[in-house]
């Protein structure tokens, strides 16, 4: 016999079919190690530091994709990225939140191994581009920033190495 509590628990954790609009991203799923370089926030521009682990995994049986990033300084702060896409549009939406209590919304594309994210926010525009290696084991990326969307400056480079 099912109790009210067990019925309530089942309602809170439904089973989903994998989201078909996220299928192109399945090669990103796994454990990665991130290295930061060429960054203005490091003591020297030539410094290379481990940015910490990056876990990319499915949520709710593939309904969403989530990225858990970082665990230490001087790299980027610990962050969560939640990815999905409206099935009527070509671009994905990324919800970002980090340990500094910063929330951002990015647009994203992923095509033929090139991953791009961007946001147009007054005073702080950002864009990201990463290329996934043919064997899917390395991503080389860079971030850029702009105060007005017309003059861009390099922010930092990141290299991701897949651990599994």
Q: What angle do CA 110, 133, 142 make, to 5 degrees?
A: 65
Q: Is the pLDDT of residue 1 over 90?
A: no
**Band of residue 8 on the pLDDT scale cut at 50, 70, 90:** low
Q: How far apart are CA 84 and CA 73, in angstroms?
A: 28
Domains assigned to the chain: 18-162 (2.40.128.20)
Rg (CA), the chain: 18
- The 10s digit of each residue's pLDDT in 76-130 is 788 999 999 999 999 999 999 999 999 999 999 999 999 999 999 999 999 999 9
**Average pLDDT score, the chain:** 90
pTM equals 0.85
């Amino acid at each position: 016999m099912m109790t009210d509590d067990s019925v309530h628990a089942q309602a809170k954790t439904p089973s989903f079919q994998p989201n078909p609009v996220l299928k192109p991203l399945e090669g990103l799923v796994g454990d990665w190690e991130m290295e930061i370089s060429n960054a203005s926030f490091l003591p020297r521009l030539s410094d290379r530091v481990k940015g910490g682990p990056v876990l990319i995994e499915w949520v709710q049986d593939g309904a969403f994709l989530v990225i858990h990033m970082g665990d230490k300084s001087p790299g980027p702060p610990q962050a969560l990225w939640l990815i999905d896409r409206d099935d009527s549009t070509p671009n994905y939406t990324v919800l970002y939140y980090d340990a500094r209590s910063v929330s951002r919304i990015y647009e994203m594309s992923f095509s033929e191994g090139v991953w791009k994210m961007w946001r147009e926010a007054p005073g702080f525009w950002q864009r990201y581009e990463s290329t996934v290696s043919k064997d899917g084991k390395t991503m080389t990326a860079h971030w850029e920033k702009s105060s007005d969307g017309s003059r861009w400056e390099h922010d930092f480079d990141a290299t991701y190495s897949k651990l599994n």
